[in-house]
Structures are given as C-alpha cells and as structure tokens.
C-alpha cells in the first residue's frame, strides 16, 4: 500500500459521509448546517503544506461546502455532480495527473466509479456495504469523525513528509 500512497499528488474528497457524518440539518428558515471535524481540516492543511493538493467532488450543492472549501483553501470544488466521473476527468485534464497519482475517499454508491479509477481508494468504516470491498483502505474512523485525517496522516507518513510537517509541534 505504501507504494500506492507514495505516488499520490491529489486527494479528492466526497463531502456528505466523508468530510461530514452525513447529517444535513435545516432550521425552520431552511438554512442548512453540516458538521465538519476540525482534525480533518488540520489534516487537509498539512497535506497542502506537504505539497499534496486537495479537491472536492460532491453530489449535492451547498453554500456550507463552498464556505468550508474556501476556509481550507481548497480551490478545486465540484458540487451537484451526480456523475462524479465527469468532474474527475476534468480534474485529470486540468492538472495533468494520471489515475495512479490520485486518491479518493468516498462512502456511497455514487462514488464507486471514481473509487474504481484512482490509484488509492479509501472509504470510512461506515460507508455503504457495497463500497467497502472496492477500496484499498477502510478507515477505523467514521465519516465526519476523523476518516479524512486518518488518510491524510497515512499519505504524509508514506511519503516521508510527516516528521518535517509535525516537528514544529514538538520543538521546544
């Protein structure tokens, strides 16, 4: 698995069920809320500092996702993508990356076509049953509860970037 991880230059994330626990809350005024994990966000920032780009492909469209992507400086964001292979192909064309240089974390049936293409496919442990046998790695954490961080840490460690990026936290 380390050989696959060493090639990765881009991590693509699904949102609902991966970056969040899948809950969507609407208040009485129709305002949508989602819960994001701050540890996942820090993992995303460390990936970016380590030279690994992060993108989002979501089946739904949400201002909350737009806001979170902006906060994390994620520049490649596709929403309302019911056919995720279309934006995935655009991303490859725009970045010049090959399938084996891309990782994807997905959790539902809509994610399967991309999961089957990428060099490293992962799913949160609470993904739908049909996804789990198709991925290279199933996280020990659920979606929205550290699954993204688990994969980001794995990538950084496999690429030998972990110590360089975390040394400042341990320095006196």
Sign of the torsion formed by the C-alpha atoms of 136, 138, 140 and 143: positive
Residue boundaries of the structural domains of the chain:
2-163
- Per-residue pLDDT at 8: 97
In the chain (172 residues long), the average pLDDT of successive 10-residue segments reads 91 96 88 92 97 96 94 97 96 97 98 97 98 98 97 97 91 72
- Per-residue pLDDT at 53: 97
Q: 36-72, pLDDT tens digit by residue?
A: 999 999 999 999 999 999 999 999 999 999 999 999 9
Distance in angstroms (rounded) separating the CA atoms of residues 137 and 120? 8
User: For residue 39, what are the CA distances in angstroms to 33, 78, 148, 162?
Assistant: 18, 23, 8, 15
For the chain, give the longest Cα–Cα distance: 49
Sign of the torsion formed by the C-alpha atoms of 117, 120, 126 and 129: positive
- Per-residue pLDDT at 172: 66
Residue partners of 45: CB distance under 8 A and separation at least 6:
72, 73
Tell me which architecture the domain covering 2-163 has in CATH: 3-Layer(aba) Sandwich (3.40)
- Per-residue pLDDT at 73: 97
pTM of the model: 0.94
């Amino acid at each position: 698995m380390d050989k696959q991880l060493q090639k990765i230059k881009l991590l693509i994330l699904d949102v609902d069920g991966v970056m969040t626990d899948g809950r969507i809350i609407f208040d009485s005024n129709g305002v949508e809320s989602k819960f994001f994990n701050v540890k996942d966000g820090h993992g995303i920032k460390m990936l970016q500092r380590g030279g690994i780009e992060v993108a989002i492909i979501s089946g739904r469209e949400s201002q909350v996702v737009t806001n979170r992507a902006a906060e994390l400086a994620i520049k490649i964001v596709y929403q309302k993508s019911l056919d995720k292979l279309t934006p995935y192909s655009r991303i490859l064309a725009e970045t010049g990356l090959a399938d084996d240089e891309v990782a994807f974390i997905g959790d539902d049936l809509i994610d399967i076509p991309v999961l089957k293409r990428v060099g490293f496919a992962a799913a949160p442990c609470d993904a739908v049953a049909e996804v789990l046998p198709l991925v290279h790695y199933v996280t020990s954490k659920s979606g929205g509860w550290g699954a993204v961080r688990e994969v980001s840490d794995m990538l950084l460690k496999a690429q030998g970037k972990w110590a360089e990026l975390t040394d400042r936290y341990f320095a006196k």
